């Protein structure tokens, strides 16, 4: 038997580490947590300082038995779970189960699974950090108190299988609030005037800016007419030329949140998929002759900090591949928000020299895509800024001013490797050139084109947008974003349409009840404060029991009130107007986990069910009596029609939206593009900016 036993969470991690440590070490996996609160009861002793009652997780008995036997035979046991709250808690639970002194130097942490990092970590083992453990316990107890008190009420009053939680309920609220904003949005008219201009034979564009040196907004067509009436002929004079050199800095390396956002934008990955693939890259990939290697650092982090070793390696790579002028002269300090836990580094490759294309053959398609994204972002973060030559030119005719902007990339810098994505599809103006213009030059307008516009409602949340918003609001932690988004969809509170979150009828019902009886759970500031309090526990500033007690005092009163006063919500069976093809009874709409479906009203004698003609929550614009439903053609293509068909023959290949066209009053539809959707009028030429 080996002298030392090392316990990690996963077999993949165990396999990688064992190769680095040598024959004296045996590495085994706990397969995640071995103890947790029981599923069948609250498991929190409220009367005795909220003490959790932990039990061995069902199915983990044999694993724990194997670990106990191995621990008895070893001279020393090292607990090497992940370097965060959850990992510290796993280590503490293992220590409790295996009778290991938590004050002894039994805990080993590393930020990356490489030979050097692993060997260094075993040179300086430490005691278990109880502040970290308490922070995790506080979170677990808090979530249990919320979930096990509210969920049974929702089961009783609405339907079985529902749940509530600090983070998930706020996420649903954000989605519903955004939907209400869109529904109640009143578009405002505004105009622009764009001009095509000529200097000699060279053409360029400029936009109306103002009159008599003052910026002017064009709100109506009358405003446009007044401006154009003021223009005399087609000769304009260049009154001002401003040339500047602008530097654009690279984005910092990835945090968990920014990785999820960028993987959604550039790779079309869901948050859950991003974290799963990142876990694989972290735990180790077999690279043939090189053996199994962890390719990235730990993927749950709020920090953009990078070790000096990693920086110098990146600089060496950049100088070798691109030249010294592309290497960052001095590293910019990363600014931390008050919410950031800086325990470990940003997400980066474990070696800058491990180029994605060099290891492509050893990776799956998804692993390659994500590793390439992480590697490029990290390398770019250590490169020189891009340098742009910008030019702004003012043109004037009888006091009417147009302005032209242009720029030219003078030095690509980091842009040679990577450019950060955005949520908005804005025209790339980074390389729009202007002719050589000087003050006093005479310019001629070819065409001045007035154009009517309307302000647009805010876009629905994509996964990337929602993660970004939760992070900005201080809601949740890197580890919670992916499971939260997954939970609210599995519960049937929201659905994804065109990669955007839309609240369901069930989600709105639950949200209204939560707003009435548990407003503090949905309060963004309250939830953010709770996250801050959990951070304070981690830093040893406050006792975790005190935080839970303060919360529970008012919360328990709301629970009693809800139990007594919340009325039962009957989601009544709604007749669908079609007969069951098996028994001839009426079919009714039923609410399931994933929304509505059709079921026979003669249940349980007849158990026939079928997919619904999915309602989209919109009255038919043609007959104004029926509802618009989603249908499928014989070729399985989705289209939209009135549920009163054949009495009403309304049909549309594009999905109608609730808002009317601000230009002509006809219905607006969502037209699918290659990337995203565009809202446009079904009748006139009105179009809104595409949404990714």
Q: b/e string for 510-546 if b means 16 or more Cβ within 10 A?
A: bbebbeebbeebbebeebbebbebbbbbbeeebebbe
Q: What are the start-end ranges of the E strands in 455-560?
A: 494-497, 500-503
Q: Give the integer Cα–Cα distance in Å for 626 and 620.
A: 5
Q: Please return the burial class of 141, using the count of CB atoms within 10 Å of its CB with bins 0-12, 13-18 and 19+.
A: buried
Which of 149-163, 402-416, 453-467, 635-649 bottoms out in mean pLDDT, i.e. has the lowest? 635-649
Q: pLDDT category, 343, cuts 50, 70, 90?
A: low
Residues 6+ apart with CB under 8 A from 135: 85, 534, 535, 537, 538, 544
Question: Would you state the structure tokens that stand for residue 587, as one six-digit string?
Answer: 């079919």
Q: What is the mean pLDDT of residues 470-478?
A: 88
Residue 528, both tokens: 């953010």
Altogether, the residues listed in the chain come to a count of 692
Mean pLDDT check: name the lowest of 21-35, 105-119, 347-361, 582-596: 582-596
Nearest to 508 by CA among 497, 520, 527, 495: 495
* Tens digits of residue pLDDT in 212-222: 999 999 999 99
Q: What is the pLDDT of residue 429?
A: 52
Q: Which helix (H) or strand (E) holds 463?
A: helix 463-473
Q: What is the pLDDT of residue 338?
A: 43
Alpha-carbon distance 347 to 274, whole Å? 13
- Name the percent of the chain lying above pLDDT 90: 62
Q: DSSP labels for 227-294? A: HHHH--TTEEEEEEEEEEEEEEPPPPPB-HHHHHHHHHHHH---HHHHHHHHHHHHH-EE-GGG-EE-
pLDDT tens digit sequence for 80-107: 999 989 999 999 999 999 999 999 999 9
- Tell me phi and psi for residue 221, to 5 degrees: -65, -30
Start-to-end C-alpha separation, the chain: 57
Q: Which residues contact 83 (CB under 8 A, 6 or more apart)?
A: 109, 110, 111, 298, 343, 344
Least confident of 202-216, 422-436, 533-547, 621-635: 422-436
Which of the residues 298, 317, 368, 481 is marked catalytic? 298
Q: Is the confidence at residue 425, as pLDDT, over 60? A: no
Do residues 95 and 80 touch, judged by C-beta distance below 8 A?
Answer: no
Please compute the mean of the pLDDT values over residues 72-76 and round it to a whole number.
Answer: 92
Collapsed DSSP state (helix, strand, coil) of residue 59? coil
> Is the Cβ–Cβ distance between 44 and 53 less than 8 Å?
yes
Q: Does the pLDDT of residue 193 top 60, yes or no? A: yes
What are 102-160's pLDDT values in tens digits?
999 999 999 999 888 999 999 999 999 999 999 999 999 999 999 899 989 998 888 77
Among the residues of 284-425, which ranges form H helices?
308-321, 365-381
Residue 122's nearest CA partner among 112, 133, 107 is: 107
479-496: pLDDT as tens digits? 788 999 999 998 889 988
Distance of CA 648 to the CA centre of its chain: 41
CA distance 143 to 595: 26
The answer to whether residue 5 scores a pLDDT higher than 90 is yes
Phi, psi of 152 (to 5 degrees): -60, -35
Q: What is the pLDDT of residue 1?
A: 54
Quick check: 339 pLDDT over 60? no
**Number of neighbouring beta carbons within 10 Å of residue 399:** 14
Query: What average pLDDT is seen over the chain?
Result: 89
Higher pLDDT, 68 or 674: 68
Q: In Å, what is the CA distance from 334 to each residue of 226, 253, 299?
A: 50, 10, 18
User: Does the pLDDT at position 634 exceed 70?
Assistant: no
In this prediction, residue 651 carries a pLDDT of 87
Largest Cα span, the chain: 96
Over residues 43-68, mean pLDDT: 94
Q: Give the pLDDT confidence score for residue 289 in this predicted structure.
A: 87
Q: What is the pLDDT of residue 333?
A: 42
Q: Which residue has the higher pLDDT, 270 or 631?
A: 270
Q: Is the pLDDT of residue 684 over 70?
A: yes
Q: Report DSSP letters for 288-312, one per residue.
A: GGG-EE--BB-S--------HHHHH
Residue whose tokens read 């002509």: 664
Residue 457 has pLDDT above 50, yes or no: yes
Q: Which residue has the higher pLDDT, 656 or 676?
A: 656
Mean of the pLDDT values across residues 612-636?
A: 79
For residue 588, pLDDT over 60 is answered with yes
The whole-number pLDDT of residue 336 equals 44
The rounded Cα 350 to chain-centroid distance in angstroms is: 25
Whole-number Å distance between alpha carbons of 368 and 509: 42
CB burial string 407-420: b at 16+ within 10 A, e below: beeebebbbbbbbe
| pLDDT 10s digits, 277-309 | 999 999 999 998 888 899 999 999 888 999 999
- Catalytic site includes residue 298: yes
- The band of 342, judged by pLDDT with boundaries at 50, 70 and 90, is very low
Look at residue 171 in the predicted model and tell me its pLDDT: 95
Query: pLDDT band at 335, cuts 50/70/90?
Result: very low
Beta bridge partners of 579: 586
Collapse the DSSP code of 603 into the 3-class scheme (helix H, G, I; strand E, B; otherwise coil) and give the result: coil
Examine residue 206 and say whether the peptide bond preceding it is cis (omega within 30 degrees of 0): no
Average pLDDT over every residue of 35-48:
92
Strand order in the sheet with 595-600: 574-579, 586-592, 595-600, 609-610
């Amino acid at each position: 038997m080996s002298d030392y036993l090392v316990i990690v969470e996963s077999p993949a991690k165990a396999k990688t580490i064992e190769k680095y440590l040598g024959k004296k070490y045996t590495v085994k996996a706990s397969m995640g947590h071995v103890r947790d609160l029981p599923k069948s009861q609250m498991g929190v002793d409220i009367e005795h300082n909220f003490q959790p009652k932990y039990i061995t997780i069902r199915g983990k008995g044999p694993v724990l038995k194997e670990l106990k036997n191995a621990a008895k035979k070893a001279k020393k046991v090292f607990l090497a779970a992940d370097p965060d709250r959850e990992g510290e808690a796993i280590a503490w639970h293992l220590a409790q189960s295996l009778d290991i002194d938590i004050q002894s130097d039994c805990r080993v942490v590393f930020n990356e699974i490489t030979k050097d990092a692993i060997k260094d970590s075993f040179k300086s083992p430490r005691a278990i950090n109880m502040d970290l453990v308490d922070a995790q316990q506080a979170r677990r107890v808090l979530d249990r108190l919320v979930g096990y008190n509210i969920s049974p009420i929702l089961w009783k009053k609405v339907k079985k299988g529902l749940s509530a939680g600090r983070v998930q309920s706020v996420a649903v609220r954000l989605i519903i609030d955004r939907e209400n904003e869109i529904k109640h949005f009143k578009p405002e008219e505004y105009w622009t005037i764009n001009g095509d201009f000529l200097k000699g034979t060279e053409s360029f564009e400029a936009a109306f800016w103002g009159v008599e040196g003052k910026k002017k907004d064009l709100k109506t067509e009358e405003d446009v007419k007044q401006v154009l009436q003021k223009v005399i002929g087609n000769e304009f004079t260049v009154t001002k030329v401003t040339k500047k050199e602008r530097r654009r800095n690279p984005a910092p390396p990835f945090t968990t949140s920014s990785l999820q956002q960028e993987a959604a934008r550039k790779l079309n990955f869901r948050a859950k998929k991003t974290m799963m693939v990142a876990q694989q890259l972290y735990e180790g990939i077999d690279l043939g002759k090189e053996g199994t290697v962890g390719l990235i650092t730990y993927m749950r982090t709020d920090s953009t900090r990078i070790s000096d070793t990693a920086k110098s390696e990146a600089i060496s790579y950049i100088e070798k591949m691109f030249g010294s002028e592309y290497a960052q002269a001095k590293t910019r300090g990363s600014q931390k928000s008050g919410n950031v836990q800086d325990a470990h580094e940003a997400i980066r490759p474990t070696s800058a020299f491990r180029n994605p294309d060099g290891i492509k053959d050893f990776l799956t398609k998804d692993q390659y895509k994500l590793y390439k994204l992480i590697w490029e972002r990290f390398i770019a973060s250590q490169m020189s800024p891009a340098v742009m030559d910008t030019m702004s030119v003012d043109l004037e005719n009888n006091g009417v001013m147009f302005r032209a902007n242009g720029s030219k990339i003078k030095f690509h810098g980091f842009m040679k490797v990577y450019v950060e994505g955005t949520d908005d599809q804005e025209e790339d103006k980074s390389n729009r050139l202007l002719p050589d213009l000087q003050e006093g030059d005479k310019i001629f307008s070819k065409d001045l084109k007035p154009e009517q516009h309307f302000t647009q409602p805010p876009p629905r949340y994509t996964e990337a947008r929602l993660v970004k918003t939760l992070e900005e609001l201080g809601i949740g932690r890197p580890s919670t974003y992916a499971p939260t988004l997954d939970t609210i969809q599995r519960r049937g509170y929201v659905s994804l349409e065109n990669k955007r979150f839309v609240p369901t009828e069930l989600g709105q019902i639950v949200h209204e009840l939560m707003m009435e009886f548990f407003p503090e759970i949905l309060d963004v500031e309250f939830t953010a404060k709770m996250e801050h309090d959990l951070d304070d526990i981690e830093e040893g500033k406050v006792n975790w029991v005190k935080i839970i007690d303060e919360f529970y005092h008012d919360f328990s009163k709301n629970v009693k009130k809800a139990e007594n006063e919340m009325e039962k919500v009957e989601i009544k069976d709604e007749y669908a107007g079609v007969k069951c093809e098996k028994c001839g009874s009426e079919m009714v709409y039923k609410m399931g986990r994933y929304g509505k479906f059709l079921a026979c009203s003669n249940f349980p004698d007849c158990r026939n069910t079928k997919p619904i003609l999915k309602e989209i929550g919109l009255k038919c614009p043609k007959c104004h009596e029926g509802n618009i439903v989603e249908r499928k053609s014989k070729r399985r293509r989705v289209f939209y029609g009135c549920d009163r068909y054949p009495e009403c023959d309304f049909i549309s290949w594009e999905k109608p939206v609730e808002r009317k066209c601000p230009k002509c009053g006809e219905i607006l539809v969502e037209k699918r593009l290659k990337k995203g959707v565009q809202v446009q009028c079904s009748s006139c030429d009105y179009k809104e900016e595409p949404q990714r």
